[in-house]
């Protein structure tokens, strides 16, 4: 497994790192390698998949989840005319274009390996207003990309699925609360009731193990929907309702 992102090592002023992610994976008995990669840099993405081909020689699953969570918060609920044009790059280029570029490089490896899976981490903003205009455009494009890539890959045995997580308790959220962030305290609600990254990970693992995964290709699912279908629970055995239900 390759864990990829911009922050390699843990530091007091950072929330989460690849080193911590790899350590968590190893603690549950799995192997992982940390690779630093800026998702906005096409050359670095190409280099990443070159490394995968050289070292592993195969690819079974690609999960696209790049997003600038810390930088995004200041744009939440701000009208588009009051935001700088750079918000488009921060959201659409990083969150959507980088997924497209990653898929370009990953697909030849997936096809060489055999049946494979691409998962795009999207969200409800694809279909209803959420946060701001750029966010909605990015998520809608990501879901459309899922549908169209699934169409082109269906006969080649590679499934492409979008997953919509509920609000997820990430390291960034824990760090905000630990430093007494008033916005987080006012807006995040029941922290203990949030989904966790491991919940999403378990659902992706179940999806990848599903022999009938092609029946889901080109579609989007809430994490909680997949969890219900596959009998997956969050940490400590918790089950989550589908948001809005």
> Any idea which residues carry the catalytic annotation?
135
How many CB atoms are closer than 10 A to CB 50? 12
Nearest to 82 by CA among 70, 91, 74: 74
Whose structure tokens read 């997924």? 99
Contact at 8 Å (CB) between 164 and 123? yes
Which pair of tokens denotes residue 86?
């750079």
Q: How far apart are CA 162 and CA 221, in angstroms?
A: 6
Q: Which residues contact 150 (CB under 8 A, 6 or more apart)?
A: 159, 160, 161, 217, 218, 219
Specify the DSSP element, H or E, that contains 221.
Answer: strand 220-222
Per-residue CA distances from 202 to 70, 99, 195 (Å): 25, 21, 12
Cα angle 125-126-129, degrees, rounded to a multiple of 5: 40
**Phi then psi dihedrals of residue 17, to 5 deg:** -160, 165
């Amino acid at each position: 497994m390759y864990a990829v992102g911009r922050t390699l090592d843990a530091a007091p002023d950072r929330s989460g790192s690849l080193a911590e992610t790899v350590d968590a994976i190893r603690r549950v008995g799995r192997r992982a390698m940390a690779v630093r990669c800026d998702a906005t840099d096409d050359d670095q993405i190409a280099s990443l998949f070159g490394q995968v081909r050289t070292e592993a020689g195969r690819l079974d699953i690609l999960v696209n989840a790049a997003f600038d969570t810390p930088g995004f918060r200041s744009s939440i609920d701000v009208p588009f005319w009051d935001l700088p044009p750079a918000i488009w790059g921060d959201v659409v280029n990083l969150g959507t274009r980088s997924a497209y570029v990653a898929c370009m490089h990953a697909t030849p490896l997936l096809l060489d390996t055999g049946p494979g899976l691409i998962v795009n981490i999207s969200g409800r903003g694809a279909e209803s207003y959420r946060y701001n205009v750029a966010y909605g455009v990015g998520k809608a494009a990501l879901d459309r990309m899922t549908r169209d890539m699934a169409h082109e890959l269906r006969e080649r045995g590679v499934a492409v699925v979008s997953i919509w997580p509920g609000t997820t308790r990430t390291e960034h959220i824990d760090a905000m609360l630990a430093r007494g962030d008033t916005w987080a305290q006012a807006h995040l609600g029941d922290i203990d009731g949030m989904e966790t990254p491991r919940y999403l990970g378990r659902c992706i693992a179940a999806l990848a193990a599903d022999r009938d995964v092609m029946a889901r290709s080109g579609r989007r699912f809430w994490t909680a929907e997949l969890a219900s279908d596959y009998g997956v629970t969050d940490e400590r055995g918790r089950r989550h309702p589908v948001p809005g239900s």
